[in-house]
Amino acid sequence: MGDAAHAPTPFHGQGAGQATEDALTISDLFAEVKNVQDIPPAFAAYDKVRRPRGNKNVTTSRTSGIIGSLLDPSHTDVVEIATGFAPRMMWLWSKDMKEQSQEAVNLFRQFRSET
């Protein structure tokens, strides 16, 4: 969970946030697990919902580090970097995690019914 599962660079400071998001989704999924056969579809639903967000965090954290360290020649204006930070982060800050968790539960129910 968190940094251990997603391994981003530190430029978004999202390790604890990602761990909390992971914990919400996995706890909501495992509240639905009734027997051992439910475990694989629970993890499949978790992975399908959480992996894209975790991967995007890894990628954009690396980009933020490059920009913030002034290593990207197309981003050298410090004012532009500072004012551009919040808009670059909105995808991360504005996600409805309860909605995402419910999406995982719905996928779990679908996967479970298919087995």
Looking at per-residue confidence, does 88 or 103 come out higher? 103
- The more confident residue out of 77 and 33 is 33
pLDDT in tens, 43-91: 999 999 999 998 888 888 888 888 888 888 887 888 888 888 888 888 8
Q: What is the pTM of this model?
A: 0.80
* 9-43: burial string, b at 16+ Cβ within 10 Å, e else: bebbebbeebbebbeebbebbeeeeeeeebeebbb
Number of domains comprising the chain: 1
Mean pLDDT calculated for residue range 86-108: 92
- Domain of 90? 3-114
Neighbours of 52 (CB within 10 A): 10
